[in-house]
């Protein structure tokens, strides 16, 4: 749209990886040097971590391009695999034939191939992106593979690329043996202000620009908003160029960057602090939720019986009582809190109330039902993933005495708000992390019955809905698209990267959830927005 106006040959700030735009900061060069040094060890693991969008995948692709011809490389982009799926994916990457799709057969076939490869003086390298999603069982299979030896060599080297939580994961006791096999590790930091400026100009130069387009104040604002993260910088620069184009200006100014920042939702929400943990007694919990949250549709298809559902229409009524703030203790500070009925079914009933429904707790379950308008999503997640999902959820809390409580994590602001048996209480993040088991169940409103993912090449109304939503979000003009084409694939991948998801271009629940949150801004959210 703006390329001709700025005399650019190609779009300079696409978020799709393009080796032609490769920019290596000092940190990127250091990371590559560390990985190269680790690969000289011939065996074991190398680890590269960093926040979302800092360029980890770019570094690995650059590393692969400069590897010697005697290297055989498997690059795995979808690590959310079982043990068998992981080993079969590695075998497929190396064109290894296998007869039986079972763990022992796959392990033996892969071992035989790697040893033969090593005896021919070839290096076998497996690179796994988004490795924080690997299960313990899958990581253990990789560790066992790196134990294999010939006379004086280990035939397999593994490079794990992941977000910061991968470091924390590998500190856990069960990963002790694997952590000891890591021969090189590097944590990639974001760009500095100077590097960010050079990065922006570098991409403009590659695209054909002969002069600076962003003024000094614009560059400073971009760095302030993006904190030196290349992916976010691309998004904001692209929208800023569009803002300049619409104003017929060949220079991007501070005002234009601020306008673009608002359009791509770069404003960070601030939350109000609460100095004390407070308990709210709610005689009619469902009434409070109904008044403060949106009213969901009148019908939920098939997930629960029709006679178990009542849309809430009651008014607010509650008493406020102050309690001692919870420190590290269990619920001892709340002697009046009745935990006898804090089971999963009652918590799930409260969760439906958050969405504006009164249901019979004996008539509901959360078995996945892809034909339902309200869908369940049950996972064991970490805190960052819980925040990323951004929906109120049923969670399980437990202490060392094996006491357990099911609650709804209702809001996260400076403190964490829990709904337990008609009570709204506040706890600290430290308390929450101490007692939360990681188990979570959320419900969400799908745009259509779910009966499989939406993929490239498919046609129909679902594709039309998807294209329209992405066009609105990414600022494209609407079109009545019915086929999942290459452009839509690029849009989906870009949206997934923006949301911190795996950019496989396949649209399942994890991609639809943030799209629905954008399409329905009044739906329940976990993260507290600023007033």
Long-range contacts of range 415-421, CB-CB < 8 Å, 24 or more positions apart? 415/274, 415/277, 419/285, 419/347, 419/350, 419/354, 420/337, 420/339, 420/342, 420/347, 421/337, 421/338, 421/339, 421/341, 421/342, 421/346
15 inside domain: no
* 140 and 234 co-located in one domain: no
Question: Would you state the pLDDT for residue 301?
Answer: 28
SS3 assignment, position 319: strand
d(CA 148, CA 164): 29
Among the listed residues 477, 491, 389, 506, the one whose alpha carbon sits nearest the alpha carbon of residue 441: 389
388 inside domain: yes
31 inside domain: no
Q: What is the mean pLDDT of the segment spanning 75-83? A: 80
The 3-class SS string of 478-525 reads: CCCCCECCHHHHHHHHHHHHHCCCCCCCCECHHHHHHHHHHHCCCCCC
SS3 assignment, position 444: strand
d(CA 349, CA 359): 6
* 258 and 399 co-located in one domain: no
Statement: residue 270 has pLDDT above 50:
no
CATH number of the domain that residue 306 is part of: 3.90.70.10
Backbone phi, then psi, for 487, in 5-degree steps?
-65, -45
**Chain centre to alpha carbon of residue 238:** 23
Statement: residue 317 has pLDDT above 80:
no
CATH number of the domain that residue 102 is part of: 3.40.50.300
* 304 and 434 co-located in one domain: yes
Statement: residue 268 has pLDDT above 90:
no
- Indicate the pLDDT class of residue 520, thresholds 50, 70 and 90: confident
d(CA 497, CA 422): 39
Residues 6 or more apart in contact with residue 68 via CB below 8 angstroms: 123
8 inside domain: no
Can you give the C-alpha Rg of the chain in angstroms? 26
Contact 124, 155 (CB under 8 A): yes
| 211, 240, 263 - which closes a domain | 263
Statement: residue 284 has pLDDT above 50:
no
Question: Would you state the pLDDT for residue 401?
Answer: 83
Region of poorest pLDDT, from 303-312, 319-328, 402-411, 504-513: 303-312
What's the burial of 363, exposed, middle or buried (CB within 10 Å: 0-12/13-18/19+)?
Answer: middle
Residues 6 or more apart in contact with residue 228 via CB below 8 angstroms: 189, 190, 191, 192, 193, 195, 196
Question: Would you state the pLDDT for residue 476?
Answer: 74
* 145 and 57 co-located in one domain: yes
- Indicate the pLDDT class of residue 41, thresholds 50, 70 and 90: low
400 Rama class: left (phi>0) / alpha (psi -120 to 50) / beta:
alpha
* 183 and 214 co-located in one domain: no
Question: Would you state the pLDDT for residue 33?
Answer: 86
Number of domains in the chain: 4
26 inside domain: no
Question: Would you state the pLDDT for residue 168?
Answer: 84
Statement: residue 311 has pLDDT above 70:
no
d(CA 22, CA 20): 6
Question: Would you state the pLDDT for residue 147?
Answer: 87
Statement: residue 445 has pLDDT above 80:
yes
Average pLDDT, the chain: 80
d(CA 311, CA 251): 54
Question: Would you state the pLDDT for residue 276?
Answer: 29
Question: Would you state the pLDDT for residue 158?
Answer: 93
* 334 and 354 co-located in one domain: yes
Q: What is the mean pLDDT of the segment spanning 489-506? A: 86
Q: Give pLDDT tens digits for 349-403.
A: 888 888 887 776 665 766 544 445 478 899 889 999 999 999 999 999 998 888 8
Region of poorest pLDDT, from 39-43, 161-165, 308-312: 308-312
d(CA 123, CA 186): 22
* 432 and 315 co-located in one domain: yes
pLDDT > 90 in the chain, percent? 30
Statement: residue 411 has pLDDT above 70:
yes
Among the listed residues 74, 46, 43, the one whose alpha carbon sits nearest the alpha carbon of residue 145: 43
Q: Which domain holds residue 305?
A: 278-445
d(CA 207, CA 200): 11
Residue 320 has what DSSP assignment?
A: E
CA atoms within 13 A of residue 128's CA, in its CB half-sphere: 25
* 420 and 477 co-located in one domain: no
Question: Would you state the pLDDT for residue 31?
Answer: 87
| 188, 216, 240 - which closes a domain | 188
Question: Would you state the pLDDT for residue 8?
Answer: 92
530 inside domain: no
Q: Give pLDDT tens digits for 457-492.
A: 888 999 999 999 998 887 776 677 888 887 788 889
63 inside domain: yes
Q: What is the mean pLDDT of the segment spanning 135-144? A: 90
528 inside domain: no
Q: Give pLDDT tens digits for 87-116.
A: 999 999 999 988 777 888 999 999 999 999
Token pair 């109330």 in the structure block, residue: 353
Question: Would you state the pLDDT for residue 113?
Answer: 93
* 178 and 205 co-located in one domain: no
Residue 362 has what DSSP assignment?
A: G
Statement: residue 275 has pLDDT above 50:
no
* 342 and 359 co-located in one domain: yes
d(CA 195, CA 179): 32
Residue 364 has what DSSP assignment?
A: -
Residues 6 or more apart in contact with residue 216 via CB below 8 angstroms: none
Q: What is the mean pLDDT of the segment spanning 39-65? A: 82
Quick count: other Cβ atoms within 10 Å of Cβ 410? 22
Q: Give pLDDT tens digits for 180-210.
A: 888 888 888 889 999 999 999 999 999 999 8
Region of poorest pLDDT, from 83-97, 154-168, 296-310, 349-363: 296-310
| 131, 164, 188 - which closes a domain | 188
Question: Would you state the pLDDT for residue 363?
Answer: 59
d(CA 168, CA 357): 39
Tokens of 362: 């004996």
Residue 315 has what DSSP assignment?
A: P
Q: Give whichever of 12-26, 128-142, 364-378 has the largest mean pLDDT.
A: 128-142
Tokens of 488: 């839509």
Tokens of 304: 């629960």
Helix (H) or strand (E) holding 295: none
* 483 and 437 co-located in one domain: no
The more confidently predicted of residues 450 and 511 is: 511
Question: Would you state the pLDDT for residue 405?
Answer: 92
Statement: residue 318 has pLDDT above 80:
no
* 366 and 432 co-located in one domain: yes
Quick count: other Cβ atoms within 10 Å of Cβ 420? 25
Q: Do the strands 44-50 and 182-188 form a parallel or antiparallel pair, or are they unpaired? A: parallel
The 3-class SS string of 107-139 reads: HHHHHHHHHHHHHCCCEEEEEECCHHHCCHHHH
Among the listed residues 72, 75, 70, the one whose alpha carbon sits nearest the alpha carbon of residue 17: 75
């Amino acid at each position: 749209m703006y390329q001709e106006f700025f005399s650019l040959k190609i779009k300079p700030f696409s978020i799709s990886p393009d080796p032609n735009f490769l920019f290596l900061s000092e940190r990127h060069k250091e990371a590559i040097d560390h990985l190269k040094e680790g690969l000289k060890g011939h065996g074991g693991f190398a680890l590269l971590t960093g926040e979302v969008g800092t360029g980890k995948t770019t570094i690995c692709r650059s590393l692969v391009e400069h590897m010697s011809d005697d290297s055989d490389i498997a690059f795995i982009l979808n690590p959310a695999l079982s043990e068998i799926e992981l080993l079969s994916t590695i075998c497929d990457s190396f064109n290894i034939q296998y007869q039986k799709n079972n763990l022992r057969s796959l392990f033996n076939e892969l071992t035989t191939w790697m040893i033969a490869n090593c005896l021919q003086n070839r290096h076998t390298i497996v690179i796994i992106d988004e490795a924080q999603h690997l299960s313990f069982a899958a990581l253990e299979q990789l560790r066992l593979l790196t134990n294999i030896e010939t006379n004086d060599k280990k035939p397999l080297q593994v490079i794990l690329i992941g977000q910061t939580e991968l470091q924390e994961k590998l500190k856990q006791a069960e990963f002790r043996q694997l952590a000891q096999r890591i021969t090189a590790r590097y944590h990639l930091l974001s760009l500095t202000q100077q590097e960010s400026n050079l990065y922006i100009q570098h991409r403009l130069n590659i695209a054909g620009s002969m002069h600076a387009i962003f003024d000094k104040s614009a560059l400073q604002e971009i760095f302030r908003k993006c904190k030196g993260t290349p992916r976010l910088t691309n998004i904001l620069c692209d929208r800023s160029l569009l803002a300049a184009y619409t104003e017929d200006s060949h220079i991007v100014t501070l005002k234009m960057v601020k306008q673009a920042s608002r359009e791509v939702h770069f404003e960070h929400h601030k939350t109000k602090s609460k100095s004390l943990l407070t308990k709210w007694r709610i005689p009619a919990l469902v009434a409070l939720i109904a008044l403060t949250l949106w009213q969901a549709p009148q019908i939920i298809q098939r997930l629960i019986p029709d006679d178990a559902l009542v849309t809430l229409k009651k008014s607010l009524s509650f008493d406020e009582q102050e309690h001692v703030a919870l420190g590290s203790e269990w619920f001892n500070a709340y002697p009046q809190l009745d935990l006898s009925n804090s089971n999963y079914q009652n918590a799930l009933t409260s969760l439906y109330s958050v969405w504006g429904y009164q249901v019979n707790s004996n008539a509901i379950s959360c078995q996945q039902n892809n034909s339902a308008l309200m869908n369940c999503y049950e996972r064991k997640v970490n805190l960052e993933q819980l925040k990323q999902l951004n929906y109120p959820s049923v969670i399980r809390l437990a202490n060392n005495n094996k006491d357990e409580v099911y609650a709804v994590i209702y809001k996260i602001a400076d403190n964490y708000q829990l709904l337990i048996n008609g009570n709204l209480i506040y706890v600290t993040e430290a308390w929450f992390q101490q007692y939360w088991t990681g188990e979570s169940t959320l419900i969400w409103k799908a745009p259509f019955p779910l009966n499989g993912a939406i993929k490239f090449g498919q046609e129909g109304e679902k594709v039309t809905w998807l294209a329209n939503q992405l066009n609105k979000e990414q600022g494209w003009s609407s079109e009545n698209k019915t086929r999942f084409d290459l452009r839509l694939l690029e849009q989906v991948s870009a949206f997934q990267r923006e949301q911190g998801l795996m950019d496989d271009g396949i649209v399942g629940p994890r991609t639809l959830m943030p799209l629905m949150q954008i399409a329905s801004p009044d739906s329940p959210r976990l993260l507290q927005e600023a007033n």
